[in-house]
C-alpha cells in the first residue's frame, strides 16, 4: 500500500465532484450548460 501511495496524485477538479454527482455534464473539463450547447451549434 505504501509503495502504491507514492504514485497516487490528487484529482484535478475535485471540487467539481458534487456537480458530477448531481448529473451535470462536462465536456473536455468544462461544464456544459444550455448556453454552451446553443453557442456551439
Residue 38 counted as domain residue: no
Q: Containing domain of residue 26, as a range?
A: 1-31
Residue 14 counted as domain residue: yes
Task: Please tell me whether residue 25 adopts helix, strand or coil conformation.
Answer: coil
When divided into structural domains, the chain yields a total of: 1
Cα 24 from chain centroid (whole Å): 10
**Cα distance between residue 2 and residue 29, in whole Å:** 30
**Cα distance between residue 20 and residue 25, in whole Å:** 7
What pLDDT does residue 3 have? 80
Residue 36 counted as domain residue: no
1-40: buried (b, 16+ CB within 10 Å) or exposed (e) per residue?
A: eeeeeeeeeeeeeeeeeeeeeeeeeeeeeeeeeeeeeeee
1-35 tens-digit pLDDT? 788 777 877 667 777 888 888 988 888 878 888 76
Full-model pTM: 0.44
Residue 41 counted as domain residue: no
Amino acid at each position: 500500500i505504501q509503495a502504491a501511495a507514492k504514485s497516487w496524485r490528487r484529482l484535478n477538479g475535485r471540487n467539481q465532484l458534487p456537480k458530477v454527482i448531481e448529473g451535470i455534464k462536462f465536456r473536455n473539463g468544462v461544464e456544459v450548460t444550455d448556453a454552451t450547447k446553443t453557442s456551439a451549434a
